[in-house]
């Protein structure tokens, strides 16, 4: 595995942007990667990570620096966003839960392997983590416009967030305020490109479509990726529609606390499992779910050990072989733990399973 590979690609995209060339032209990008010498020619794959348009001006500024200086600034910023996300999540946890700043909380964060993979390859998924963390906090506190603005940060990974968006929209106390928040934040992000926004966005969408078609043949940590490519192409849109409908149903009834727990235990894991496009570092989206289970005082030491071992095993395999598909175990584990809690609670009441709470 080549450490900071994704950041090296982002750095070259920034150089192309500063030169006035298309950062989403794969021929330009591959040529820049080879000319820069940041990545050995043998390691340049046919699939390259793509920064969303609103990040290009920031990446362009970093590209004016030496690679080492740019990498340092990027890594510190990424860790800072993770720390901010943890601060937000600490305010989300019930008072009965163990503190995120305790030794138990530290072990939870350190054992969460998608976080390490994101840092090691230099990805920007920390923006998505901050988006979902802020969205959950705003949802609980009925800050609908701020919730919309938080959802805009998740536009980097739209295929991962369809279910969560639908749930928030279905349960929102002010759908108008939510839409206004999304629009204001989206316009602010678009303003970073000025008049270049529409042509650059068109280039990004074309490149993203091409990348999605290419990745169908690559093993990814999703249920869809296990299927034959022909069947997968048909299942991808069905999965997206299914997640949309499930999200709308999840937010249709129950208190905000119960709806949030459905998002953590059901919507986010299923969104990862059936996403048409997912890499292991994208699973940082599951950090709120992971911490919610780990910090729950009812969670046994055996369950925490199982969670930690699952993370350590697939990260070790990734570091040794570069394979990502075993990260599939993480959303499956979270989904299984959620269902197990529901079955135990409702069996005591003589009821059938019904997604209610995650405690």
Tens digits of per-residue pLDDT, 47-75?
A: 566 778 888 888 889 999 999 999 999 99
* pLDDT (0 to 100) of residue 230: 66
* pLDDT (0 to 100) of residue 345: 55
Determine the length of the chain.
359
Q: How many helices (H) and strands (E) does the chain have?
A: 18, 0
Give the Cα separation of 190 and 136 in Å (integer): 24
Mean confidence (pLDDT) of the chain: 83
Which residue is listed with tokens 């966003």? 81
Query: Residue 5 in contact with residue 121, Cβ under 8 Å?
Result: yes
150: tokens are 């938080």
Q: Which segment, 153-167, 235-249, 284-298, is predicted with the most confidence on average?
A: 284-298
* pLDDT (0 to 100) of residue 28: 83
186: nearest Cα among 50, 22, 53, 24: 53
* pLDDT (0 to 100) of residue 111: 92
Query: Residue 225: pLDDT above 80?
Result: no
Q: Which residues contact 121 (CB under 8 A, 6 or more apart)?
A: 1, 3, 4, 5, 6, 7, 281
Q: Which one has a higher pLDDT value, 174 or 76?
A: 76
How far lies 14's CA from each of 17, 23, 53, 64, in Å? Answer: 5, 7, 11, 8
Give the Cα separation of 326 and 329 in Å (integer): 6
* pLDDT (0 to 100) of residue 350: 47
How far lies 35's CA from each of 6, 7, 124, 211, in Å? Answer: 16, 16, 24, 22
* pLDDT (0 to 100) of residue 79: 94
311: tokens are 């993370």
């Amino acid at each position: 595995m080549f450490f900071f590979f994704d950041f090296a690609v982002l750095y070259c995209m920034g150089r192309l942007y500063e030169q006035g060339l298309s950062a989403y032209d794969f021929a330009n990008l591959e040529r820049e990667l080879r000319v820069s010498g940041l990545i050995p020619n043998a390691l340049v794959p046919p699939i390259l990570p793509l920064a969303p348009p609103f990040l290009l001006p920031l990446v362009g500024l970093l590209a004016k620096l030496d690679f080492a200086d740019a990498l340092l600034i990027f890594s510190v910023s990424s860790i800072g966003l993770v720390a901010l996300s943890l601060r937000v999540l600490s305010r989300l946890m019930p008072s009965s839960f163990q503190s995120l700043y305790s030794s138990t909380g530290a072990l939870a964060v350190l054992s969460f392997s998608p976080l390490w993979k994101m840092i090691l390859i230099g990805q920007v998924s920390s923006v998505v983590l901050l988006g979902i963390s802020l969205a959950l906090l705003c949802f609980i506190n009925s800050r609908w416009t701020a919730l919309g603005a938080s959802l805009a940060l998740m536009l980097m990974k739209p295929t991962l967030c369809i279910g969560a968006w639908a749930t928030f929209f279905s349960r929102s106390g002010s759908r108008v305020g939510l839409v206004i928040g999304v629009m204001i934040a989206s316009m602010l992000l678009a303003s970073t490109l000025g008049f270049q926004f529409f042509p650059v966005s068109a280039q990004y969408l074309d490149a993203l479509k091409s990348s999605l078609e290419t990745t169908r043949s690559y093993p990814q940590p999703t249920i869809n990726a296990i299927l034959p490519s022909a069947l997968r192409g048909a299942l991808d849109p069905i999965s997206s529609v299914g997640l949309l409908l499930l999200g709308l149903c999840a937010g249709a009834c129950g208190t905000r606390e119960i709806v949030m727990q459905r998002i953590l235990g059901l919507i986010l894991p299923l969104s990862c499992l059936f996403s048409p496009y997912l890499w292991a570092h994208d699973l940082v989206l599951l950090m709120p779910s992971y911490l919610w289970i780990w910090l729950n005082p009812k969670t046994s030491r055996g369950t925490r050990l199982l969670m930690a071992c699952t993370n350590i095993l697939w990260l070790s395999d990734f570091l040794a072989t570069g394979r990502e598909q075993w990260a599939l175990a993480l959303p499956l584990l979270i989904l299984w733990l959620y269902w197990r809690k529901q079955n135990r609670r409702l069996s005591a009441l003589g009821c059938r399973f019904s997604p209610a709470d995650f405690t």
